[in-house]
Structures are given as structure tokens and as C-alpha cells.
Amino acid sequence: MPEYVLAFKPAVDGYGVHDPSAVIFHDRELIFGIEEERLNRRKTAPNCFPIQAIRACLDHCDIEMEDVDKILLPYRPELKLLQPLSSSGQIETGVEVLNFVDTIQATPLIQRALGGRIGSKAQIERRLRDEFGSPLPPVEEHSHHACHAASAFHPSGFHQALVVTLDGKGEYDSTVIWRGTSRGIDRIKTYPAENSLGRFYGVITNYLGYRAFNGEGKVMGLAPYGSENKSIESKLRSIVDTGVDYDVTLLTGEGTIDHGVSVLEDLFGKKRSRGEEFTDFHKDLAFVTQKLLEETVTDIVRTYTDEFGLHDVALAGGVALNCKMNKQVMEMDCVDNLFIQPVSSDAGLAVGAGMLRYRPSSVPDMSTVYWGPDFSNESIAEILDRNKIDYTKPDNLEARVAERIADGALVGWFQGRLEMGPRALGNRSILADPRTESSRENVNKYVKHREGWRPFAPSMLAEAAEEYLQHAEESPYMIKTFETIPEKRDEIMGVLHPGDDTTRPQTVRESQNPRYHRLLSEFERQTGVPVLLNTSFNDHGEPIVTTPQEAIKDFYGMGLDVLVLEDYLLEK
């Protein structure tokens, strides 16, 4: 009998503080998933219970909570008790004490005491009962990093692999090395929460004037504008060790970002304030930080692929969103194949929690992140009519849109099911001509309302990837960076990183997204270039749009020229 399994990531009651989400599996297949931020419209939805995301999962399946067979939570608050043992080096993997924790958990008195102190399943169950009534399906918890690891290994298609999960902090761990086999995932080594690569990058992000756990992508984007700087590098190396035995605890050990920033201020002087012009020092610090991260992660991968004789590698956790770092891993001689879970942030923990329930070989290979809601033409027409908005329904929509983009128009492109994860992949995208640098400037200035130096990435026909990318391979999720072919750079100036001419593409096959593939083909027919500038459909600091109403509001509130809503076209 096929079962419904609901997995969700709370951001309350000791279960973390950001990126709540929910996904639902039917008969082992993930059939719907969404971040709470896409529904409550607060970026990363801090301190939220994902009530709307859970409801959306049930509504999609047209079921009630009582029809769900199992609920999975991607966090075990009681494992926080391991932190002192982990940080003092008394446990190597954490596995040896998990059984002990399971035993004491079985004691109701201790369970109550723990629940009061560090959060517990009982509090989550109470919230669910308040919202959905009784009885509830059984609720099961899995550790944070095990869920990240399963999200990377189980859908990778690998028979066995080295799995590395990297983030700010799980219950007591920050980086974990796993071995994935047909039996599942085994924890090999645990780096304690105090020694965190995610927090290391977060401290630098805050020092450079952005919010930690939010602006890391901007620092990564800034890095190629900087260059080698021996003075900065030797100072930073005086307080951090890199490589497989990395140690960044002087910056991350106190557990607060502010502490790490004060250490940097002692080292380098006052931090950059928001809005202050970036100096060469700031750019070089970003460059050096990126270099030390890459040096560390590649050494970890080299060490453990060698130790276990594995050549396939899977990554997850927030640090795996660093697509420049991913490029370095991808290019290592010891790595044959690299899979990165595209929903690598904590929103993807729910994905992994669900997959952890099944044998890896029975989980389908990852083929999509189009897991959110879609909207019919009828419902969109009704909204447009009700708001007295003029629109057309062109016979060849893709040809018309390609023509407008080639003419310099900035296009809001809304079709199909919402993407889960940080990247818009042609269903909630803003599109522009990739051929000119002015496209990048225009999208930054008129649409995204952000700094002009921020780079953009392309979507391209998968069939044409080899023409533009060195060592081209399928990259459907915009999570890997590539060198570009020098002779072709002129054609895609708007989607190269100006600092190093690299690019972070989405390759598109017809089977993955037929309408988007048609649009790219049409743009190629008209211009000779099978590429588009693709950025997420949202204004600065907001979550990606979910509904047609949000897209329409942004169309009029941003400098977009054209809006496509399924079969309909709106033009200013």
C-alpha cells in the first residue's frame, strides 16, 4: 500500500531558526515541496513553524493530516547534549554516544527535562494537534547532518560515494564525512560545531558589511574582483588552519558571529559598514577567504576519497551552495563524478529526512526541483480580468518573447511549478539578453535594485553547453561554476563574472522544461545564441514570487518591460 510521508523543517522550539520548509512523498517519490518563505513572504522565514508549507503539501495531495502515514523531522534537539563532548575531542564520530542518547530518551522523566531545556518533539506535536487535530501520525526525528547527507547521496545515482556535509551548525556538528553505500550512510568523522566552515564564511560576510547566513553568495561573487594578497593571507592564516585538520575556532568557537567579527577587527581594523564603497582590501579579503575555504574542502575530499578508494562525491549543507568551491571539487583528479543537492540549505533538510526513510537504491535519481505550486491559464485570466489588466495570448508566445529579449526588454517569466531551492530555473525567472554587459547593469539597476557589480548567470540549451563551457557537463541546477571558451565570451558578456570570465549555468533539456527549452531555441533561431540571462523573479531582499498576483505586483513595481504568465503576455 503506497504511503504518504510528510517531512518538514521547523524553525522554532529548538529546531533551528531559519529556512523552514515542508515536502511530501508518495510511494517513495517526492511529489510536492516548498519553503515557508515562499508562502509567508518573509525571506528565510526566521523563527517560523512551516504551517503554510505543511498545508500546501496536504492540499496538493488532497488529503488530511490523518491520511499521512509518517511525519519526519530533520533534527534531534537532544543531540545538542553531545556538543561539549564533541568540542573537547572526546568523540570522533558521535556514533558511539547516539545509542546512549537513545536510551536516556526512552525515560519519560529525562525526556520531559530535556524537552523543557532544549526543545522537543512534544512541542512540535502540540503545535500540529492545535492546527490539524488528533490523532497525529507517528513523528520520527533524524539528525540534521544525516538529513543533509541523505539529500546528497540517496538521489545521486551513485552506488557508493564519499559524502561531505558542510554548514554552520547541526545539533553538535558543523562538517561531517560520510560513506554512502547500498545500505545507507555511515558517519566517518565529525567536526564539532565550534569549528565551523559555514560560520567562518559567515563571520567574513558580516565583517564585509552583509548579513551572515544571508550574504555569503555576495562575498563569493565579490571574491573574483580581488586578487592574491600576501599580507591579508598571512594575517588570516595566523588565526585559522586550513586543510583536512582545519581549525577556525578562534573565529567561530564562541558561537556568535559578533565575536568572530571582533577578532577580525583586532586583526584588520574596523569592519565595512553597509553601503560603504568596497576597497581593494575588501575584495582581496573575499578572495583570500574563498581560497582558504576551497583549500580546506578540496583537502578533505582528497584525504577521504583516497582513504576509502571512492571517486564519486556528494555534497550538501549551506556551504555547498558555494558554486566556486564546487568547481574546485569538480575539477579534482580524484573526483570522477560530483553530485550536489541543489536544495542544500536547511530548507533541503526535509528532502533528506524523507529520503533517509528508504534504501538509497530505491530513491529515484534527482531529476527536478519543480516541486511547488502551479497555476492554470483559467485562474490567471480570471485574476487579470478582475484587475482590469490588458493582456494578449500570442500564438507563438516563445517567438514573441525571444524577439522582445533580443530587443533589450527585461522579461518576467512565470510558468509551471515553482522551484524549490535558491535558484529560479525557468519557471519563476527574470530573463534578459546575455550578449551585452549593459544587460547585467540594467537588470541590477532597474529590476533587482542592487549593486551594479553583482554577476548574473545564464540558462543555455544543454545541447550547446560544449560550445560555451570548458569541461562542459550537465548542470541543471546552477550550482557549479565553469570556465568559458575564450572565443565565445563575446556572445555571453552579460552572464560572465567580470572578475574571472567564469559562469554558473543552468543547462536545459527539453524533457526538463519543454516551454523554457522552446524559448531558448527560439532565441537561438533569432540571434544565433542559445543562451539567456536568468535570475530569480523577486525584488531585492524578497523571496522568489510564488503566485501570479505576486508576479503582477512585481511587474508594475520593478523595471520589467514584459511579463509572461503561462500562455498570456503583458507589456508595458
Residues 145-174 that bind Fe ion (CB under 5 A): 167
CA dihedral 48, 52, 58, 62 (to 10 degrees): 180
Give the integer Cα–Cα distance in Å for 225 and 442. 20
- The site that binds Fe ion (CB under 5 A) totals a number of residues, namely 2
Q: Which is nearer to Fe ion, 171 or 561 (CB)?
A: 171
Give the integer Cα–Cα distance in Å for 351 and 178. 18
Q: Which is nearer to Fe ion, 35 or 167 (CB)?
A: 167
Q: Considering only CA atoms, give the Rg of the chain.
A: 23
Between the CA of residue 530 and those of 180, 206, 467, 501, what are the distances in Å?
Answer: 38, 38, 10, 18
Q: In this structure, what C-alpha cell is assigned to residue 55?
A: 498545508
| Neighbouring C-alpha atoms within 13 Å toward the C-beta of 31 | 18
161, containing H or E segment: strand 161-166
Shortest Å distance, C-beta 17 to Fe ion:
12
Q: Which amino acid is at 378?
A: E
Give the integer Cα–Cα distance in Å for 565 and 561. 13
Write out the DSSP string of 107-140. SHHHHHHHHHHH--HHHHHHHHHHHH-SPPPPEE
Q: Which is nearer to Fe ion, 78 or 346 (CB)?
A: 346
In this chain, which stretch among 154-162, 343-351, 371-379, 505-513 interacts with Fe ion, using CB under 5 A? 343-351
In this chain, which stretch among 248-256, 344-352, 392-400, 401-409 interacts with Fe ion, using CB under 5 A? 344-352
- Position with the least CB separation from Fe ion: 167
Q: Which is nearer to Fe ion, 346 or 491 (CB)?
A: 346
Q: Which is nearer to Fe ion, 167 or 171 (CB)?
A: 167
Which residues 6+ apart lie within 8 Å of 544 measured at CB?
Answer: 38, 418, 419, 424, 428, 536, 537, 538
Nearest to 243 by CA among 180, 315, 302, 178: 302
Give the integer Cα–Cα distance in Å for 314 and 163. 5
Q: Which amino acid is at 317?
A: G
Shortest Å distance, C-beta 130 to Fe ion:
27
Shortest Å distance, C-beta 349 to Fe ion:
6
Shortest Å distance, C-beta 259 to Fe ion:
20
Shortest Å distance, C-beta 411 to Fe ion:
34
Q: Which is nearer to Fe ion, 35 or 346 (CB)?
A: 346
Helical spans, DSSP H, in 387-434: 397-406
Q: Which is nearer to Fe ion, 175 or 305 (CB)?
A: 175
Shortest Å distance, C-beta 317 to Fe ion:
5
Q: Give the residues across from 111 on adjacent strands.
A: none
In this chain, which stretch among 122-130, 175-183, 228-236, 338-346 interacts with Fe ion, using CB under 5 A? 338-346
In this chain, which stretch among 171-179, 340-348, 531-539, 560-568 interacts with Fe ion, using CB under 5 A? 340-348
Q: Which is nearer to Fe ion, 74 or 224 (CB)?
A: 74
Q: Which is nearer to Fe ion, 25 or 75 (CB)?
A: 75
Shortest Å distance, C-beta 353 to Fe ion:
12
- Give the one residue of 346, 419, 433, 566 binding Fe ion; rule: CB under 5 A: 346
Shortest Å distance, C-beta 325 to Fe ion:
16
In this chain, which stretch among 116-124, 339-347, 428-436, 468-476 interacts with Fe ion, using CB under 5 A? 339-347
> How far is C-alpha 108 from the geometric centre of its chain's CA atoms?
37
Shortest Å distance, C-beta 216 to Fe ion:
13
Q: Give the residues across from 181 on adjacent strands.
A: 184
Q: Are 283 and 131 in contact (CB under 8 A)?
A: no
In this chain, which stretch among 44-52, 342-350, 372-380, 511-519 interacts with Fe ion, using CB under 5 A? 342-350
Chain residues that interact with Fe ion, rule: CB under 5 A = 167, 346
